[in-house]
Structure formats: C-alpha cells, structure tokens
C-alpha cells in the first residue's frame, strides 16, 4: 500500500490555516510520496539486476537507475527531517518524532558526502572510492532458498578502487544489511530506512487527522491543460474599406 494513497487525509489541507503552514504540510506529504516512489523503483531495479541477465549495453542504465533512486531516498529523508524540525503544531518533543530523528541520523553524513563532490574528489581519488558510492543488497533465490549478495559500483573500476558489500555475521551465518548504500565512511541500510519512514508516516497520518479533522479544505494536486491556436487575420488595408459607393453630387 502506498504511503500516501489517493484517499489519504494528508491530501486534504484545511482552507483555514495560513500559507506558511500549507507549505510545510505539502512539503512533508511530498517527501513521503517521493520517498515511496523511489523506494519502489529501487526494489524493481535490484530485482531485475538479481534475476535476469543484463546486457552490457543496458547495464549502465540499470545501475544509473538504482543509484539515482538510492540517493533520492537519502536526499528526501534529509529534507523531511528539516521540515519536521520546523513544522507548525508538531511538538518537537513527541516521542515518535524524536525516535524517527534519531533513527535517521546517519542520513546526514551520506547527504553531506553527496553534496560535496566538487571539493572532495581529490580525497576520493586518494583512497580509491567510487564517486557515487557502492550499492550492495541481498537477494533470496526462491528455487534454493539461498541468499546471494549482489553489489554494483557505478563508474570506472580503476586500479585500487574500493568496493563494499553487505556485512556477514559469521556467528549467525547471515548477512547483516539488506540494501546497503556505502559512501566514504558512511553507510545506511535502505531497507531499514524504508521501514522507519513507513512507521513514521503511519504515526504522522494519525497525528494529522487529529490536528485537522474533516473540515473544508483546499483543492490539491492540480492538473491544468492550456492551448494556443493561431488565428489568421485580414491585412489592415482590407479592414473597413470599400470602393463600391460613389458619393452623390
């Protein structure tokens, strides 16, 4: 089920609140929505990379798709955290909000890495780190029940390049992460992140319903179509002139 289904109360903003509050509520709602879309696309991309042969001609597209959605998830949670810290009416000491902020704190390190490519390329080159990081995930073979670890490293695999994979717990004999995005010294399990966002969205939706009961609300998510049609106009000399009438003497 989507985080923000078509009948979600988050789509109904009361027309009695101020514009600033409207923008905060819209920003939070769209963070949920964008994160959800990126997460679903990422799962689809990783499934394709795990279960079918990808031709060399299409591999770069598949990798770019997965990496793009992984970083979109990171960036969206960063923006969500910023909006939640300033959102009107939302108590900042709410246990659910505080828990979400703590659980997603690693996002800030990743986002900082992502935003400073230009000034840090020399340091990346010195340690052999791929510019866009490494994405590693676990796929279960339904036929055998075995777990396999797949990893993609976007870009050129130069000599000395470092590629990270999911951690193995040799005591429990299992992988620790499910979808791990590595960048520099930072790592986040995107599967765990998706669960945290899902849980928080459910709490936030309940909070929203209590704050804004079923009242008159604004329209939302407009889809407008306009068109331009050329109209041929007569030459100016032909407008309002005639030589058919001769004045009487």
pLDDT at 61: 93
Q: Are 114 and 131 in contact (CB under 8 A)?
A: no
In a domain, 75, yes or no: yes
In a domain, 186, yes or no: yes
In a domain, 221, yes or no: no
In a domain, 5, yes or no: no
| 100 CB neighbour count, 10 Å cutoff | 22
In a domain, 249, yes or no: no
Mean pLDDT, rounded, for 113-131 = 77
In a domain, 95, yes or no: yes
pLDDT at 121: 80
pLDDT at 52: 79
In a domain, 227, yes or no: no
Structural domain of 114: 19-214
In a domain, 86, yes or no: yes
**Total tally of structural domains belonging to the chain:** 1
Which two tokens mark 33? Answer: 């929505």
Residue indicated by tokens 């770069």: 60
How many H helices and E strands in the chain? Answer: 6, 6
In this structure, are strands 134-140 and 174-175 parallel, antiparallel, or unpaired? Answer: unpaired
Q: Which of 27-36, 51-60, 62-71, 79-88 has the lowest mean pLDDT?
A: 51-60
Q: Are 152 and 67 in contact (CB under 8 A)?
A: yes
In this structure, are strands 147-152 and 134-140 parallel, antiparallel, or unpaired? Answer: antiparallel
């Amino acid at each position: 089920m989507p985080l923000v289904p078509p009948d979600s109360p988050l789509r109904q903003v009361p027309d009695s609140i101020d514009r600033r509050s409207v923008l905060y509520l819209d920003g939070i709602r769209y963070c949920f929505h964008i994160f959800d879309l990126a997460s679903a696309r990422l799962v689809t991309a990783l499934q394709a990379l795990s279960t079918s042969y990808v031709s060399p001609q299409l591999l770069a597209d598949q990798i770019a798709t997965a990496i793009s959605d992984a970083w979109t998830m990171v960036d969206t949670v960063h923006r969500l955290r910023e909006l939640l810290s300033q959102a009107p009416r939302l108590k900042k000491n709410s246990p659910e909000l505080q828990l979400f902020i703590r659980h997603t704190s690693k996002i800030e390190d990743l986002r900082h890495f992502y935003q400073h490519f230009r000034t840090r390329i020399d340091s990346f080159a010195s340690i052999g780190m791929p510019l866009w990081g490494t994405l590693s995930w676990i796929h279960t073979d339904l036929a055998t029940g075995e777990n396999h670890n797949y990893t993609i490293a976007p870009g050129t695999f130069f000599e000395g390049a470092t590629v990270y994979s999911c951690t193995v717990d040799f005591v429990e004999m299992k992988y620790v992460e499910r979808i791990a995005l590595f960048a520099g010294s930072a790592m986040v399990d995107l599967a765990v992140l998706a669960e945290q966002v899902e849980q928080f969205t459910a709490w936030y939706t309940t909070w929203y319903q209590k704050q804004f009961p079923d009242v008159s609300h604004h329209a939302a998510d407009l889809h407008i179509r306009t068109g331009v049609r050329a109209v041929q106009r007569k030459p100016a000399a032909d407008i309002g002139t005639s030589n058919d009438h001769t004045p009487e003497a």
